[in-house]
Structures are given as C-alpha cells and as structure tokens.
Amino acid sequence: MSTTSLPFLPFVRPYVDEETIAGVINVLRSGWITTGPQNARFEAALSEYCGHRPVRAFNSGTCTIEIALRIAGIGPGDEVITTPLSWVSSSNMICEVGATPVFVDINPVTRNLDLDKLESAITSRSRAIIPVYLAGMPMDLDRLYALARTYQLRLIEDAAQALGSSWNGQRVGERGDFVSFSFHANKNITSIEGGALIMNHDHEAQLAQKYRLQGITRTGFDGMECDLLGGKYNLTDVAARVGLGSLARLDEITAQRRKLARAYFTYFSGGAAIAGGIELPPKDFINSNWHMFQIVLPLERIRIKRANFMAQMKERGIGTGVHYLPIHLFKLYQERGFKLGMFPHAERIGRAIVTLPLFPQMTIDDVSRVVQAVNEIIHHHQQ
C-alpha cells in the first residue's frame, strides 16, 4: 500500500503527442495499415538522421541483431564477443544463428563491455563483436573499431538504447558497420514495438529486406522469387507513423533527459545515499542520451535486499526497474558452461543495479521526490 497521496511515478512512460495520434487515425482510415508509405517515410527519416546510410525498419530491435548476423555470414563454428550485462536479445540471437556467445566482463564505471579485456577473448573462431550501449552510454568507438579492423571482425552495435547518443560529436548510427536501434515503448523514441538496422551499402539493405519478409523479392506486377529463408519481421504503417512523430521530437527528448539527469546528480550530491556508498552512473552530458538513470545499491552496507528496496520505493509511489541481471547466470547459459564467478563486475552490478524514473514528462520536483525516497531508505537501513 502506498504511503503517499502523490500520483504514482513509473520508471518510464512513453509519450505520444496529439499530432501523432491524429496521424495514426489517418493511417487507420487510409486502408493501408501494414508496411507501406509510412514505413518508407520512417526509413527515409532515419537514414537522413544517420548520415544517409541504408536503413530498414523492422518489428523489433531483436530481429535486427539476428539479421545483421545472417548478413555477415555468421553461424555454426563462429564466436561472437559480447557483454554479460544486458538484455538477453543479442546473446540469444548469437545462439539462434548457431554461433557461440563469448562474454567479456564489464568496466565497473561505464558498465559496458571492458575494452581492456576484449582483445584477450579474440580467437581464430572470432567473427564479430556485439557491444551494447547500456542506458544509452556509447563505448569508445574509435578504439573499438580500430580493434575490429586489426582482427578483421564485423561490428554489430547493439544501440537499442542509444538513439540520440554520440561519440566525439558524431551520432551513433552515422558511422561504422551494422547499427541496431530499438523503438520499444520504453525507449527514448517509440513506434510501440519496432527497430531499425543501419547498414553499409544497398546490397546489405536488399538482403535485410529479404530476411524481413520471407525471403521474397518482387519484380514488376507478377514477378516473384524466394532465394533465402526469411522471417516475418516487417513494421506496420501504424507503428511507423508513431515512430515518425516520436523521431521528430528526438532532440527535444534528449535535451529534457539530460536536464533531468543533471538534476539527479545535483540532488544526490552529499545526501545519505552517497554517504552510504551508492554508485551513480558515469556523469556524461555530451555523449549519452540518458536512456536510463541507474544506481548501484551498496548491498554490503545496508540491511535490505534489492527487492526490498524496490518494494519500499513502490510504497512511496515510485516505480523502479532492474536492467539487467547477468546473462551468463540464466539457465540457458549455465547449460552452455557459464558459471557464477566468471564475470565478477557484471555479477556484482547485476545483483545491485536499480533503474530510477527518467522520462521526458517528469519534472525537477519528481527527481527531488525520487532522490529523497532513496536517501530515506538507504539511511534507515544502513548497518
């Protein structure tokens, strides 16, 4: 039961403006609601944003990883290096194509794959790296791509959370090899469900288009060919119209998220949570799009577990999330030989990480309320 009369504050809330809602109604009335002209407009807008690179939109940011792996020719006998602290989509897709995921522990500060440890994981079977930009924080892309070039590895950037992020003044998606975005309802922009794959040239885009819709290529009025095993991954025009409306506000959304993140650092400064040993995310207001604001609880210094902390936040009318549990400790991966103790940084942070509310409709007062609640709980349960 809530101990506050204030409205419940979720950790995320999607925003769809009235113009977009009206646009969706027009799509529904048009008679063309599956993949069509709105999808083409959305792809064109994304391509322009990403330096006019080839783009194809899909119904998730998970199938985009699978399709990138297939276009790269990765399959049984190949190894793909990735992070153990993420959602399971990328590692699952590595397994889906028959390749072997190779985890490398994270940097405890950035919480992304540790580049200092990555090179030692490369073997003669390594074919690709899938870095994941946790909470929208990109890695050192210059160093990452230099390493990939040295070992002739494909790079599939899992930038599901990083639309609006940049590295050294260049947008994520403008450079490099494959880049995968997600437009799930909890992302910075949304198409309700959806994703996009940024590629290098038209040949890859044509392959992606085949994989997107059952391997079919159409020519003329009645020409049709099927020359590969494709799936059913197309994005509807209804979803694309939502994505278009959201993409148009990306700069505004990113600016508001950075403003709220700054407020979090200000309100946490010198408080009970900091004194109690709580860990804040990297303080980056240039490169990160601030998809999430995550803290790491000092579990060794407080008398409650993470679930208890989250329950007490909920009692105060505040929602939280866990992003993420260590992938290698799930049953599917333990059956593949991964064990507790293999990636200590990912395990420690995975046990204690908590996502706090952060979305554009929030106010600075909302941030103050969240930090006050965190401070109260940490202070009350300190050992």
Pairing mode, if any, of strands 223-226 and 216-219?
A: antiparallel
Told to judge if 314 belongs to the known catalytic residues of this protein, a careful annotator would answer no
Together in a domain, 320 and 259: yes
Output the domain CATH number for residue 199. 3.40.640.10
In tens, the pLDDT along 239-286 reads 999 999 999 999 999 999 999 999 999 999 999 999 999 999 999 999
Taking residues 76-93, what's their average pLDDT?
98
Together in a domain, 136 and 279: no
Identify whether the C-beta of residue 42 lies closer than 8 Å to the C-beta of residue 237.
Answer: no
In tens, the pLDDT along 17-42 reads 999 999 999 999 999 999 999 999 99
Together in a domain, 218 and 274: no
Pairing mode, if any, of strands 55-58 and 195-198?
A: antiparallel
In tens, the pLDDT along 123-140 reads 999 999 999 999 999 999
Output the domain CATH number for residue 338. 3.90.1150.10
Q: Tell me if 6 is assigned to some domain.
A: no
**Cα separation of 196 and 183, whole Å?**
8
Q: Tell me if 182 is assigned to some domain.
A: yes
**Cα separation of 383 and 381, whole Å?**
6
Give me the amino acid identity at 1.
M
Together in a domain, 32 and 151: yes
Taking residues 362-367, what's their average pLDDT?
98
Together in a domain, 367 and 317: yes
**Cα separation of 140 and 171, whole Å?**
13
Q: What's the pLDDT band for 2 if we cut at 50, 70, 90?
A: low
Q: Where a domain ends, among 247, 266, 298?
A: 247
Mean pLDDT of the chain: 97
- CA-to-CA dists, residue 329 to 111, 298, 343, angstroms: 17, 21, 10
Q: Tell me if 134 is assigned to some domain.
A: yes
List the alpha helices (DSSP H) in the chain.
Answer: 18-30, 37-49, 63-71, 89-96, 115-118, 141-151, 202-212, 237-247, 250-268, 272-275, 306-315, 331-334, 344-352, 364-380
Taking residues 351-368, what's their average pLDDT?
98
The pLDDT of residue 3 is above 80: no
Q: Tell me if 105 is assigned to some domain.
A: yes
The total domain count for the chain is 2
Together in a domain, 263 and 115: no
- CA-to-CA dists, residue 144 to 37, 79, 178, angstroms: 37, 17, 13
**Cα separation of 304 and 232, whole Å?**
45
Together in a domain, 198 and 257: no
Q: Where a domain ends, among 247, 270, 291?
A: 247
What would the two tokens of residue 337 be?
Answer: 């030989």
How many other CB atoms are there within 10 angstroms of residue 10's CB atom?
Answer: 15
Q: Tell me if 10 is assigned to some domain.
A: no
Q: Where a domain ends, among 247, 280, 300?
A: 247
Q: Tell me if 8 is assigned to some domain.
A: no
In tens, the pLDDT along 304-354 reads 999 999 999 999 999 999 999 999 999 999 999 999 999 999 999 999 999
Which of the residues 117, 187, 283, 305 is marked catalytic?
187
Q: Tell me if 55 is assigned to some domain.
A: yes
Together in a domain, 226 and 165: yes
Q: Tell me if 122 is assigned to some domain.
A: yes
Together in a domain, 26 and 157: yes
Task: Report the pLDDT value the prediction gives residue 81, as an integer from 0 to 100.
Answer: 98
Together in a domain, 183 and 261: no
Together in a domain, 134 and 263: no
The pLDDT of residue 1 is above 60: no
Domain interval for residue 355: 250-380
Together in a domain, 46 and 158: yes
Percent of the chain's residues with pLDDT above 70 = 99
How many other CB atoms are there within 10 angstroms of residue 334's CB atom?
Answer: 12
